[in-house]
Structure 1
Amino acid sequence: MFEKIYSPVQKLELFPFTQLFVKRDDLIDPYISGNKWRKLKYLLLSANNAHKSHLITFGGAYSNHLVATAAAASRSGLKATAFVRGESVENEMLMLCKLFGMKLIFTDRESYKNKKSLFERYFKLDEDAFFIDEGGASEEATIGCSEIISELDHTYDHIFCAAGTGTTAAGLLKGIQDRGLKTKLHVIPVLKGGSFIRNEIEKYTPISNHLELHLDYHFGGYAKTTPELIEFIKFFTAKTGLLIDPVYTAKMFFSISDLQKQNALNPNDKILAIHTGGLLGMFGMKDKF
Protein backbone atom coordinates (compact mmCIF):
# COMPACT_ATOMS: atom_id res chain seq x y z
CA MET A 1 0.00 0.00 0.00
CA PHE A 2 2.86 2.39 0.72
CA GLU A 3 5.11 1.60 -2.24
CA LYS A 4 4.13 3.99 -5.04
CA ILE A 5 2.86 7.53 -4.73
CA TYR A 6 1.81 10.35 -6.99
CA SER A 7 3.11 13.67 -5.65
CA PRO A 8 4.29 15.91 -8.50
CA VAL A 9 5.85 19.34 -8.16
CA GLN A 10 3.62 21.93 -9.83
CA LYS A 11 4.48 25.50 -10.75
CA LEU A 12 2.00 28.13 -9.59
CA GLU A 13 1.25 31.26 -11.58
CA LEU A 14 0.81 33.82 -8.84
CA PHE A 15 2.03 37.40 -9.19
CA PRO A 16 4.62 38.61 -8.30
CA PHE A 17 6.29 35.20 -7.90
CA THR A 18 8.19 33.82 -10.88
CA GLN A 19 9.39 30.55 -9.33
CA LEU A 20 6.75 29.42 -6.87
CA PHE A 21 6.19 25.67 -6.80
CA VAL A 22 4.07 23.29 -4.74
CA LYS A 23 4.74 19.65 -3.84
CA ARG A 24 1.35 18.03 -4.33
CA ASP A 25 1.26 15.58 -1.46
CA ASP A 26 -2.48 16.21 -1.39
CA LEU A 27 -2.69 13.99 -4.51
CA ILE A 28 -1.14 10.94 -2.85
CA ASP A 29 -4.48 9.57 -1.68
CA PRO A 30 -7.97 11.03 -1.05
CA TYR A 31 -8.16 9.71 2.51
CA ILE A 32 -4.58 8.89 3.55
CA SER A 33 -3.63 12.34 2.39
CA GLY A 34 -0.38 14.28 2.31
CA ASN A 35 1.86 14.08 5.34
CA LYS A 36 -0.56 11.61 6.96
CA TRP A 37 0.44 9.03 4.36
CA ARG A 38 4.13 9.72 5.00
CA LYS A 39 3.75 9.54 8.78
CA LEU A 40 1.80 6.28 8.72
CA LYS A 41 4.10 4.54 6.22
CA TYR A 42 6.75 3.50 8.74
CA LEU A 43 4.40 3.38 11.72
CA LEU A 44 2.46 0.58 10.03
CA LEU A 45 5.74 -1.13 9.20
CA SER A 46 6.69 -0.94 12.90
CA ALA A 47 3.30 -2.37 13.87
CA ASN A 48 3.77 -5.21 11.40
CA ASN A 49 7.30 -5.95 12.66
CA ALA A 50 5.97 -6.04 16.23
CA HIS A 51 3.15 -8.37 15.13
CA LYS A 52 0.51 -5.88 16.23
CA SER A 53 -2.87 -5.82 14.49
CA HIS A 54 -4.83 -3.16 16.41
CA LEU A 55 -3.94 0.51 15.87
CA ILE A 56 -4.83 2.84 18.76
CA THR A 57 -4.65 6.57 18.06
CA PHE A 58 -5.94 10.00 19.07
CA GLY A 59 -7.44 13.13 17.55
CA GLY A 60 -10.14 15.78 17.46
CA ALA A 61 -13.57 15.40 15.91
CA TYR A 62 -12.39 16.80 12.56
CA SER A 63 -9.00 15.09 12.54
CA ASN A 64 -7.56 14.19 9.14
CA HIS A 65 -5.21 11.87 11.01
CA LEU A 66 -8.12 9.78 12.29
CA VAL A 67 -9.56 9.34 8.80
CA ALA A 68 -6.13 8.48 7.42
CA THR A 69 -5.46 5.92 10.14
CA ALA A 70 -8.90 4.35 9.69
CA ALA A 71 -8.39 4.06 5.94
CA ALA A 72 -4.85 2.71 6.27
CA ALA A 73 -5.94 0.13 8.83
CA SER A 74 -8.84 -1.02 6.69
CA ARG A 75 -6.66 -1.46 3.62
CA SER A 76 -4.05 -3.34 5.64
CA GLY A 77 -6.47 -5.73 7.31
CA LEU A 78 -5.98 -4.17 10.74
CA LYS A 79 -8.34 -3.05 13.50
CA ALA A 80 -8.36 0.60 14.53
CA THR A 81 -9.63 2.49 17.57
CA ALA A 82 -9.45 6.23 18.18
CA PHE A 83 -9.82 8.30 21.31
CA VAL A 84 -11.72 11.40 20.15
CA ARG A 85 -11.17 14.58 22.15
CA GLY A 86 -14.35 16.13 23.56
CA GLU A 87 -18.03 15.35 23.74
CA SER A 88 -19.76 12.79 21.54
CA VAL A 89 -20.61 14.28 18.14
CA GLU A 90 -21.40 13.18 14.61
CA ASN A 91 -19.85 14.73 11.52
CA GLU A 92 -18.58 13.89 8.04
CA MET A 93 -15.06 13.01 9.21
CA LEU A 94 -16.17 10.65 11.95
CA MET A 95 -18.67 9.08 9.55
CA LEU A 96 -15.74 8.18 7.28
CA CYS A 97 -13.81 6.77 10.23
CA LYS A 98 -16.72 4.51 11.13
CA LEU A 99 -17.24 3.43 7.51
CA PHE A 100 -13.61 2.32 7.44
CA GLY A 101 -14.34 0.25 10.56
CA MET A 102 -12.71 2.41 13.20
CA LYS A 103 -14.12 2.28 16.74
CA LEU A 104 -14.46 5.69 18.41
CA ILE A 105 -14.09 6.42 22.13
CA PHE A 106 -15.10 9.98 23.02
CA THR A 107 -12.95 11.28 25.85
CA ASP A 108 -13.19 14.35 28.08
CA ARG A 109 -10.48 16.92 27.42
CA GLU A 110 -8.73 16.50 30.77
CA SER A 111 -8.32 12.74 30.40
CA TYR A 112 -7.26 13.21 26.79
CA LYS A 113 -4.16 15.12 27.87
CA ASN A 114 -2.56 11.89 29.13
CA LYS A 115 -2.69 9.66 26.07
CA LYS A 116 -0.38 6.99 27.44
CA SER A 117 -2.62 6.66 30.48
CA LEU A 118 -5.70 6.22 28.28
CA PHE A 119 -3.90 3.59 26.23
CA GLU A 120 -2.90 1.68 29.38
CA ARG A 121 -6.35 1.96 30.94
CA TYR A 122 -8.22 0.58 27.94
CA PHE A 123 -5.71 -1.63 26.14
CA LYS A 124 -3.14 -2.84 28.67
CA LEU A 125 -4.36 -6.42 28.24
CA ASP A 126 -4.68 -6.22 24.45
CA GLU A 127 -1.50 -7.85 23.14
CA ASP A 128 -2.35 -6.71 19.60
CA ALA A 129 -2.63 -3.00 20.49
CA PHE A 130 -0.16 -0.56 18.92
CA PHE A 131 0.07 3.04 20.17
CA ILE A 132 0.07 5.84 17.57
CA ASP A 133 0.31 9.35 18.99
CA GLU A 134 -1.91 12.23 17.90
CA GLY A 135 -1.07 13.28 14.36
CA GLY A 136 1.24 10.29 14.05
CA ALA A 137 4.05 12.12 15.88
CA SER A 138 6.99 9.69 16.08
CA GLU A 139 10.51 8.92 14.89
CA GLU A 140 8.96 6.78 12.16
CA ALA A 141 6.93 9.75 10.96
CA THR A 142 10.00 11.97 10.58
CA ILE A 143 11.68 9.30 8.45
CA GLY A 144 8.66 9.21 6.15
CA CYS A 145 8.50 12.99 5.88
CA SER A 146 12.24 13.28 5.21
CA GLU A 147 11.66 11.36 1.98
CA ILE A 148 9.96 14.44 0.54
CA ILE A 149 13.40 15.98 0.12
CA SER A 150 14.88 12.92 -1.56
CA GLU A 151 12.05 12.96 -4.11
CA LEU A 152 12.92 16.45 -5.35
CA ASP A 153 14.65 16.73 -8.73
CA HIS A 154 15.68 20.34 -8.14
CA THR A 155 17.00 22.41 -5.26
CA TYR A 156 15.14 25.38 -3.84
CA ASP A 157 16.13 28.57 -2.04
CA HIS A 158 13.19 28.18 0.34
CA ILE A 159 10.86 25.38 1.41
CA PHE A 160 7.69 26.20 3.36
CA CYS A 161 5.50 23.91 5.45
CA ALA A 162 2.72 24.34 7.99
CA ALA A 163 3.20 22.74 11.41
CA GLY A 164 0.89 21.31 14.05
CA THR A 165 3.07 18.84 15.96
CA GLY A 166 6.35 19.69 14.21
CA THR A 167 6.90 16.14 12.97
CA THR A 168 6.70 16.98 9.27
CA ALA A 169 9.02 19.94 9.78
CA ALA A 170 11.50 17.72 11.61
CA GLY A 171 11.51 15.28 8.72
CA LEU A 172 12.03 18.05 6.19
CA LEU A 173 14.87 19.54 8.22
CA LYS A 174 16.49 16.14 8.54
CA GLY A 175 16.20 15.61 4.77
CA ILE A 176 17.79 19.00 4.05
CA GLN A 177 20.63 18.32 6.47
CA ASP A 178 21.25 14.78 5.21
CA ARG A 179 21.59 16.01 1.62
CA GLY A 180 23.81 18.92 2.57
CA LEU A 181 21.51 21.51 1.00
CA LYS A 182 21.63 25.25 1.60
CA THR A 183 17.84 25.49 1.45
CA LYS A 184 16.10 27.55 4.13
CA LEU A 185 13.17 25.72 5.77
CA HIS A 186 10.33 28.06 6.78
CA VAL A 187 7.94 26.50 9.29
CA ILE A 188 4.53 28.05 9.95
CA PRO A 189 3.05 26.89 13.29
CA VAL A 190 -0.75 26.95 13.04
CA LEU A 191 -1.19 27.13 16.82
CA LYS A 192 -0.97 30.23 18.94
CA GLY A 193 2.27 30.25 20.91
CA GLY A 194 3.92 27.97 18.39
CA SER A 195 7.48 28.50 19.61
CA PHE A 196 7.28 25.03 21.21
CA ILE A 197 7.56 23.61 17.68
CA ARG A 198 11.31 24.22 17.83
CA ASN A 199 11.59 21.91 20.85
CA GLU A 200 9.44 19.29 19.13
CA ILE A 201 11.66 19.37 16.05
CA GLU A 202 14.75 19.06 18.22
CA LYS A 203 13.45 15.77 19.62
CA TYR A 204 14.10 14.20 16.22
CA THR A 205 16.91 16.15 14.56
CA PRO A 206 19.45 18.83 15.56
CA ILE A 207 18.39 22.44 15.04
CA SER A 208 20.46 24.18 12.37
CA ASN A 209 20.51 27.56 10.67
CA HIS A 210 18.39 26.07 7.90
CA LEU A 211 15.34 26.47 10.15
CA GLU A 212 13.22 29.59 10.45
CA LEU A 213 9.99 29.67 12.47
CA HIS A 214 7.29 32.24 11.66
CA LEU A 215 5.02 32.57 14.68
CA ASP A 216 2.60 35.27 13.53
CA TYR A 217 0.42 33.37 11.05
CA HIS A 218 -1.79 31.33 13.36
CA PHE A 219 -4.83 33.64 12.86
CA GLY A 220 -5.95 33.16 16.46
CA GLY A 221 -4.87 29.57 17.05
CA TYR A 222 -5.45 26.02 15.90
CA ALA A 223 -8.46 25.73 13.56
CA LYS A 224 -9.06 29.47 14.02
CA THR A 225 -9.66 31.78 11.09
CA THR A 226 -10.28 35.44 10.34
CA PRO A 227 -12.18 37.10 7.48
CA GLU A 228 -8.79 38.05 6.03
CA LEU A 229 -7.70 34.40 5.84
CA ILE A 230 -11.01 33.28 4.31
CA GLU A 231 -10.78 35.99 1.65
CA PHE A 232 -7.22 34.91 0.91
CA ILE A 233 -8.37 31.31 0.42
CA LYS A 234 -11.06 32.42 -2.02
CA PHE A 235 -8.61 34.57 -3.97
CA PHE A 236 -5.82 32.00 -4.00
CA THR A 237 -7.99 29.07 -5.07
CA ALA A 238 -9.75 31.03 -7.81
CA LYS A 239 -6.41 32.31 -9.09
CA THR A 240 -4.40 29.07 -8.98
CA GLY A 241 -7.02 26.32 -9.11
CA LEU A 242 -5.40 24.78 -6.02
CA LEU A 243 -7.58 23.94 -3.02
CA ILE A 244 -6.10 24.86 0.36
CA ASP A 245 -7.54 24.33 3.82
CA PRO A 246 -8.06 26.97 6.55
CA VAL A 247 -6.24 24.99 9.26
CA TYR A 248 -2.85 24.38 7.65
CA THR A 249 -2.06 25.12 4.02
CA ALA A 250 -3.91 28.46 3.76
CA LYS A 251 -1.85 29.85 6.64
CA MET A 252 1.32 28.64 4.94
CA PHE A 253 0.52 30.22 1.57
CA PHE A 254 -0.61 33.42 3.27
CA SER A 255 2.77 33.61 4.99
CA ILE A 256 4.59 33.27 1.67
CA SER A 257 2.58 36.13 0.20
CA ASP A 258 2.96 38.31 3.27
CA LEU A 259 6.71 37.73 3.65
CA GLN A 260 7.20 38.77 0.03
CA LYS A 261 5.26 41.98 0.69
CA GLN A 262 7.62 42.63 3.60
CA ASN A 263 10.60 42.08 1.25
CA ALA A 264 11.66 39.09 3.35
CA LEU A 265 11.39 36.98 0.21
CA ASN A 266 12.59 37.82 -3.28
CA PRO A 267 9.80 36.98 -5.76
CA ASN A 268 12.48 35.55 -8.07
CA ASP A 269 13.74 33.09 -5.44
CA LYS A 270 12.95 29.46 -6.09
CA ILE A 271 10.29 28.61 -3.50
CA LEU A 272 8.66 25.23 -2.79
CA ALA A 273 5.52 24.94 -0.65
CA ILE A 274 4.61 21.51 0.75
CA HIS A 275 0.89 20.84 0.31
CA THR A 276 0.28 18.51 3.25
CA GLY A 277 -3.27 17.60 2.22
CA GLY A 278 -5.93 17.70 4.91
CA LEU A 279 -8.60 19.12 2.63
CA LEU A 280 -11.35 17.02 4.25
CA GLY A 281 -10.97 19.23 7.31
CA MET A 282 -12.71 22.00 5.37
CA PHE A 283 -16.01 20.26 6.17
CA GLY A 284 -15.64 21.53 9.71
CA MET A 285 -15.53 25.15 8.46
CA LYS A 286 -18.06 25.13 5.63
CA ASP A 287 -20.03 27.87 7.39
CA LYS A 288 -17.04 30.22 6.95
CA PHE A 289 -17.45 30.23 3.17
Structure 2
Amino acid sequence: MFEKIYSPVDKVKLFPFDNLFAKRDDLIDPYISGNKWRKLKYLLIKAKAENKTHLVTFGGAYSNHLVATAAAASRTGLKSTAFIRGEEVKNEMLFICSLFGMNLIFTDRESYKDKPALFNKNFQDDKDAMYIAEGGASAEAILGCAEIIDELTDAHYDHIFCAAGTGTTAAGLLKGIKKNNLKTKLHVIPVLKNGFFIKEEILKYTPDSAQLLFHTDYHFGGYAKTTPELLDFIKNFIHNTGLLIDPVYTAKMFYAITDLQKQNRIQKHEKILAIHTGGLLGIFGMKDKF
Protein backbone atom coordinates (compact mmCIF):
# COMPACT_ATOMS: atom_id res chain seq x y z
CA MET A 1 0.00 0.00 0.00
CA PHE A 2 2.81 2.42 0.84
CA GLU A 3 5.25 1.34 -1.85
CA LYS A 4 4.35 4.10 -4.31
CA ILE A 5 4.21 7.81 -3.67
CA TYR A 6 3.52 10.83 -5.84
CA SER A 7 4.58 14.04 -4.13
CA PRO A 8 6.33 16.37 -6.56
CA VAL A 9 7.86 19.75 -5.81
CA ASP A 10 6.09 22.45 -7.81
CA LYS A 11 7.03 26.08 -8.24
CA VAL A 12 4.38 28.45 -6.86
CA LYS A 13 3.92 31.60 -8.92
CA LEU A 14 3.15 34.13 -6.23
CA PHE A 15 4.20 37.78 -6.22
CA PRO A 16 6.81 38.87 -5.20
CA PHE A 17 8.59 35.54 -4.73
CA ASP A 18 11.19 34.33 -7.21
CA ASN A 19 11.84 30.89 -5.71
CA LEU A 20 8.79 29.69 -3.80
CA PHE A 21 8.06 25.97 -4.09
CA ALA A 22 5.53 23.55 -2.61
CA LYS A 23 6.09 19.92 -1.68
CA ARG A 24 2.80 18.55 -2.95
CA ASP A 25 1.91 15.95 -0.34
CA ASP A 26 -1.72 16.84 -1.09
CA LEU A 27 -1.30 14.77 -4.28
CA ILE A 28 -0.27 11.54 -2.53
CA ASP A 29 -3.82 10.26 -2.13
CA PRO A 30 -7.29 11.84 -2.13
CA TYR A 31 -8.29 10.31 1.22
CA ILE A 32 -5.06 9.24 2.96
CA SER A 33 -3.88 12.76 2.34
CA GLY A 34 -0.54 14.46 2.81
CA ASN A 35 1.07 14.13 6.21
CA LYS A 36 -1.72 11.75 7.27
CA TRP A 37 -0.31 9.22 4.79
CA ARG A 38 3.15 9.70 6.25
CA LYS A 39 1.96 9.45 9.86
CA LEU A 40 0.07 6.22 9.23
CA LYS A 41 2.73 4.48 7.14
CA TYR A 42 4.83 3.04 9.96
CA LEU A 43 1.86 2.66 12.29
CA LEU A 44 0.31 0.25 9.80
CA ILE A 45 3.59 -1.62 9.52
CA LYS A 46 3.62 -1.84 13.31
CA ALA A 47 0.03 -3.08 13.37
CA LYS A 48 0.91 -5.87 10.96
CA ALA A 49 4.02 -6.82 12.95
CA GLU A 50 1.97 -7.01 16.16
CA ASN A 51 -0.94 -8.84 14.49
CA LYS A 52 -3.35 -6.02 15.24
CA THR A 53 -6.47 -6.01 13.07
CA HIS A 54 -8.46 -3.13 14.56
CA LEU A 55 -7.35 0.51 14.49
CA VAL A 56 -8.89 2.71 17.20
CA THR A 57 -8.35 6.45 17.01
CA PHE A 58 -9.75 9.89 17.85
CA GLY A 59 -10.75 13.15 16.19
CA GLY A 60 -13.20 15.94 15.60
CA ALA A 61 -16.18 15.79 13.26
CA TYR A 62 -14.16 17.24 10.37
CA SER A 63 -10.94 15.36 11.03
CA ASN A 64 -8.82 14.49 8.00
CA HIS A 65 -7.03 11.99 10.21
CA LEU A 66 -10.24 10.01 10.67
CA VAL A 67 -10.87 9.85 6.93
CA ALA A 68 -7.27 8.78 6.34
CA THR A 69 -7.42 6.08 9.03
CA ALA A 70 -10.73 4.76 7.74
CA ALA A 71 -9.42 4.58 4.17
CA ALA A 72 -6.11 3.01 5.21
CA ALA A 73 -7.86 0.39 7.31
CA SER A 74 -10.27 -0.48 4.54
CA ARG A 75 -7.50 -0.90 1.97
CA THR A 76 -5.45 -3.15 4.24
CA GLY A 77 -8.32 -5.33 5.44
CA LEU A 78 -8.46 -3.90 8.96
CA LYS A 79 -11.35 -2.76 11.13
CA SER A 80 -11.45 0.84 12.32
CA THR A 81 -13.20 2.73 15.11
CA ALA A 82 -13.11 6.42 15.95
CA PHE A 83 -14.14 8.33 19.04
CA ILE A 84 -15.65 11.60 17.77
CA ARG A 85 -15.39 14.67 19.97
CA GLY A 86 -18.77 16.28 20.70
CA GLU A 87 -22.42 15.70 19.96
CA GLU A 88 -23.59 13.38 17.19
CA VAL A 89 -23.56 15.04 13.78
CA LYS A 90 -23.67 14.09 10.12
CA ASN A 91 -21.33 15.66 7.58
CA GLU A 92 -19.34 14.89 4.43
CA MET A 93 -16.23 13.73 6.29
CA LEU A 94 -17.99 11.29 8.61
CA PHE A 95 -20.07 10.03 5.67
CA ILE A 96 -16.83 9.06 3.90
CA CYS A 97 -15.54 7.43 7.11
CA SER A 98 -18.71 5.36 7.33
CA LEU A 99 -18.42 4.28 3.69
CA PHE A 100 -14.94 2.98 4.44
CA GLY A 101 -16.47 0.95 7.27
CA MET A 102 -15.34 2.97 10.27
CA ASN A 103 -17.38 2.60 13.46
CA LEU A 104 -18.12 6.05 14.89
CA ILE A 105 -18.54 6.62 18.64
CA PHE A 106 -19.60 10.14 19.58
CA THR A 107 -18.17 11.20 22.92
CA ASP A 108 -18.87 14.14 25.21
CA ARG A 109 -16.03 16.65 25.33
CA GLU A 110 -15.12 16.01 28.96
CA SER A 111 -14.70 12.26 28.47
CA TYR A 112 -12.81 12.89 25.25
CA LYS A 113 -10.02 14.64 27.15
CA ASP A 114 -8.84 11.29 28.55
CA LYS A 115 -8.36 9.26 25.40
CA PRO A 116 -6.43 6.35 26.96
CA ALA A 117 -9.31 5.91 29.42
CA LEU A 118 -11.79 5.79 26.55
CA PHE A 119 -9.73 3.17 24.80
CA ASN A 120 -9.29 1.06 27.92
CA LYS A 121 -12.97 1.26 28.82
CA ASN A 122 -14.05 -0.02 25.44
CA PHE A 123 -11.16 -2.07 24.06
CA GLN A 124 -8.87 -3.07 26.92
CA ASP A 125 -9.81 -6.73 26.47
CA ASP A 126 -9.62 -6.63 22.68
CA LYS A 127 -6.20 -8.06 21.82
CA ASP A 128 -6.75 -7.11 18.18
CA ALA A 129 -7.21 -3.39 18.90
CA MET A 130 -4.40 -0.89 18.40
CA TYR A 131 -4.47 2.59 19.97
CA ILE A 132 -3.65 5.40 17.54
CA ALA A 133 -3.37 8.88 19.03
CA GLU A 134 -5.35 11.82 17.68
CA GLY A 135 -3.76 12.96 14.45
CA GLY A 136 -1.56 9.86 14.43
CA ALA A 137 1.07 11.51 16.63
CA SER A 138 3.79 8.97 17.47
CA ALA A 139 7.44 8.11 17.03
CA GLU A 140 6.42 6.08 13.98
CA ALA A 141 4.72 9.13 12.49
CA ILE A 142 7.89 11.19 12.89
CA LEU A 143 9.86 8.58 10.94
CA GLY A 144 7.35 8.87 8.13
CA CYS A 145 7.46 12.67 8.09
CA ALA A 146 11.28 12.69 8.11
CA GLU A 147 11.14 11.01 4.71
CA ILE A 148 9.85 14.27 3.21
CA ILE A 149 13.42 15.58 3.38
CA ASP A 150 14.87 12.32 2.02
CA GLU A 151 12.69 12.68 -1.08
CA LEU A 152 13.99 16.12 -2.07
CA THR A 153 16.08 15.87 -5.23
CA ASP A 154 17.35 19.40 -4.58
CA ALA A 155 17.69 19.87 -0.84
CA HIS A 156 19.32 23.30 -0.98
CA TYR A 157 16.52 25.44 0.40
CA ASP A 158 17.10 28.49 2.53
CA HIS A 159 13.79 27.99 4.34
CA ILE A 160 11.26 25.20 4.80
CA PHE A 161 7.82 26.07 6.18
CA CYS A 162 5.15 23.84 7.69
CA ALA A 163 1.93 24.35 9.62
CA ALA A 164 1.65 22.57 12.97
CA GLY A 165 -1.14 21.21 15.14
CA THR A 166 0.71 18.61 17.20
CA GLY A 167 4.27 19.17 16.00
CA THR A 168 4.68 15.65 14.62
CA THR A 169 5.32 16.73 11.03
CA ALA A 170 7.72 19.47 12.16
CA ALA A 171 9.63 17.01 14.35
CA GLY A 172 10.01 14.70 11.38
CA LEU A 173 11.18 17.54 9.14
CA LEU A 174 13.77 18.64 11.68
CA LYS A 175 14.93 15.06 12.03
CA GLY A 176 15.31 14.82 8.27
CA ILE A 177 17.15 18.14 8.07
CA LYS A 178 19.65 17.02 10.70
CA LYS A 179 20.03 13.57 9.16
CA ASN A 180 20.92 15.09 5.80
CA ASN A 181 23.20 17.76 7.33
CA LEU A 182 21.29 20.62 5.76
CA LYS A 183 21.67 24.26 6.73
CA THR A 184 18.02 24.97 5.98
CA LYS A 185 15.96 26.90 8.51
CA LEU A 186 12.70 25.20 9.51
CA HIS A 187 9.82 27.62 10.15
CA VAL A 188 6.90 26.20 12.13
CA ILE A 189 3.49 27.89 12.04
CA PRO A 190 1.27 26.76 14.95
CA VAL A 191 -2.38 26.89 13.90
CA LEU A 192 -3.77 27.27 17.41
CA LYS A 193 -3.39 29.79 20.20
CA ASN A 194 -0.47 29.55 22.60
CA GLY A 195 1.33 27.22 20.23
CA PHE A 196 4.66 27.34 22.01
CA PHE A 197 3.90 23.96 23.61
CA ILE A 198 4.40 22.45 20.15
CA LYS A 199 8.10 23.22 20.39
CA GLU A 200 8.25 21.14 23.56
CA GLU A 201 6.63 18.25 21.70
CA ILE A 202 9.17 18.52 18.88
CA LEU A 203 12.08 18.56 21.31
CA LYS A 204 10.92 15.26 22.81
CA TYR A 205 12.02 13.62 19.58
CA THR A 206 14.65 15.93 18.08
CA PRO A 207 17.25 18.05 19.93
CA ASP A 208 16.90 21.82 19.87
CA SER A 209 18.49 23.69 17.04
CA ALA A 210 19.06 27.26 15.92
CA GLN A 211 17.55 26.10 12.64
CA LEU A 212 14.13 25.72 14.28
CA LEU A 213 12.03 28.91 14.20
CA PHE A 214 8.52 29.41 15.60
CA HIS A 215 5.96 31.96 14.44
CA THR A 216 2.99 31.96 16.79
CA ASP A 217 1.10 35.00 15.52
CA TYR A 218 -0.68 33.34 12.61
CA HIS A 219 -3.38 31.28 14.32
CA PHE A 220 -6.19 33.72 13.36
CA GLY A 221 -8.08 33.07 16.57
CA GLY A 222 -7.17 29.45 17.23
CA TYR A 223 -7.55 25.97 15.83
CA ALA A 224 -10.05 25.86 12.95
CA LYS A 225 -10.69 29.57 13.46
CA THR A 226 -10.64 32.10 10.65
CA THR A 227 -11.01 35.82 10.04
CA PRO A 228 -12.27 37.75 7.00
CA GLU A 229 -8.64 38.63 6.28
CA LEU A 230 -7.62 34.98 6.11
CA LEU A 231 -10.65 34.01 4.00
CA ASP A 232 -9.85 36.79 1.53
CA PHE A 233 -6.24 35.60 1.42
CA ILE A 234 -7.38 32.05 0.65
CA LYS A 235 -9.63 33.12 -2.22
CA ASN A 236 -6.96 35.35 -3.75
CA PHE A 237 -4.21 32.77 -3.29
CA ILE A 238 -6.16 29.95 -4.94
CA HIS A 239 -7.26 32.20 -7.80
CA ASN A 240 -3.73 33.51 -8.44
CA THR A 241 -1.77 30.27 -8.02
CA GLY A 242 -4.20 27.50 -8.92
CA LEU A 243 -3.14 25.73 -5.74
CA LEU A 244 -5.92 24.68 -3.37
CA ILE A 245 -5.25 25.33 0.32
CA ASP A 246 -7.33 24.80 3.46
CA PRO A 247 -8.27 27.31 6.19
CA VAL A 248 -7.04 25.19 9.09
CA TYR A 249 -3.41 24.54 8.16
CA THR A 250 -1.93 25.44 4.79
CA ALA A 251 -3.60 28.84 4.41
CA LYS A 252 -2.10 30.01 7.69
CA MET A 253 1.30 28.76 6.57
CA PHE A 254 1.23 30.56 3.22
CA TYR A 255 -0.10 33.72 4.87
CA ALA A 256 2.85 33.60 7.27
CA ILE A 257 5.29 33.23 4.38
CA THR A 258 3.92 36.32 2.62
CA ASP A 259 3.79 38.36 5.82
CA LEU A 260 7.33 37.46 6.88
CA GLN A 261 8.55 38.55 3.46
CA LYS A 262 6.79 41.90 3.89
CA GLN A 263 8.64 42.28 7.18
CA ASN A 264 11.95 41.44 5.43
CA ARG A 265 12.46 38.48 7.75
CA ILE A 266 12.75 36.33 4.65
CA GLN A 267 13.76 37.62 1.23
CA LYS A 268 11.82 37.21 -2.00
CA HIS A 269 14.87 35.81 -3.82
CA GLU A 270 15.61 33.14 -1.20
CA LYS A 271 14.70 29.55 -2.01
CA ILE A 272 11.64 28.58 0.04
CA LEU A 273 9.84 25.24 0.30
CA ALA A 274 6.32 25.09 1.75
CA ILE A 275 5.11 21.66 2.85
CA HIS A 276 1.57 21.21 1.54
CA THR A 277 0.24 18.77 4.12
CA GLY A 278 -2.97 18.02 2.24
CA GLY A 279 -6.15 17.63 4.25
CA LEU A 280 -8.16 19.58 1.72
CA LEU A 281 -11.43 17.82 2.54
CA GLY A 282 -11.48 19.85 5.75
CA ILE A 283 -12.50 22.90 3.76
CA PHE A 284 -16.03 21.48 3.64
CA GLY A 285 -16.31 22.29 7.35
CA MET A 286 -15.94 25.99 6.53
CA LYS A 287 -17.80 26.27 3.24
CA ASP A 288 -20.42 28.54 4.84
CA LYS A 289 -17.76 31.09 5.82
CA PHE A 290 -16.78 31.97 2.28
Q: Same fold (TM over 0.5)?
A: yes
C-alpha separation in 2, matches of 1:164 and 1:216? 14
Amino acid at match of 1:255: A
- Deviation (angstroms), 1:193: 0.5
1:107-157 CA-to-partner distances (Å, cap 9, x unmatched) read 111111111111100001101000000000000000000000000011200
1:36-59 CA-to-partner distances (Å, cap 9, x unmatched) read 000000000011100000000000
C-alpha separation in 1, matches of 2:165 and 2:274? 16
C-alpha separation in 1, matches of 2:30 and 2:12? 22
C-alpha separation in 1, matches of 2:115 and 2:13? 44
- Deviation (angstroms), 1:16: 0.8
Q: CA RMSD in A?
A: 0.4
- Show the counterpart of 1:122: 122
- Deviation (angstroms), 1:207: 1.5
- Show the counterpart of 1:183: 184
Amino acid at match of 2:205: Y
- Show the counterpart of 1:100: 100
- Show the counterpart of 2:21: 21
- Show the counterpart of 2:160: 159
C-alpha separation in 2, matches of 1:204 and 1:30? 29
- Deviation (angstroms), 1:210: 1.0
C-alpha separation in 1, matches of 2:135 and 2:214? 20
1:171-214 CA-to-partner distances (Å, cap 9, x unmatched) read 00000011111000000000101000001101211111110010
- Show the counterpart of 2:242: 241
C-alpha separation in 2, matches of 1:50 and 1:4? 23
C-alpha separation in 2, matches of 1:41 and 1:175? 16
C-alpha separation in 1, matches of 2:51 and 2:13? 48
What are the equivalent positions in structure 2 for 1:25-174 lying under 5 Å apart? Answer: 25-154=25-154, 155-174=156-175
Structure 1 stretch displaced more, 247-256 or 199-208: 199-208
C-alpha separation in 2, matches of 1:199 and 1:258? 25
- Deviation (angstroms), 1:15: 1.1
Structure 1 stretch displaced more, 204-213 or 76-85: 204-213
Amino acid at match of 2:231: I
* Deviating 4+ runs (over 4 angstroms): none
Amino acid at match of 1:231: D
C-alpha separation in 2, matches of 1:14 and 1:109? 41
Question: Number of residue pairs matched?
Answer: 289
Identity, % of aligned positions: 74
C-alpha separation in 2, matches of 1:285 and 1:207? 36
Amino acid at match of 1:191: L
Match of 1:33, SS? coil
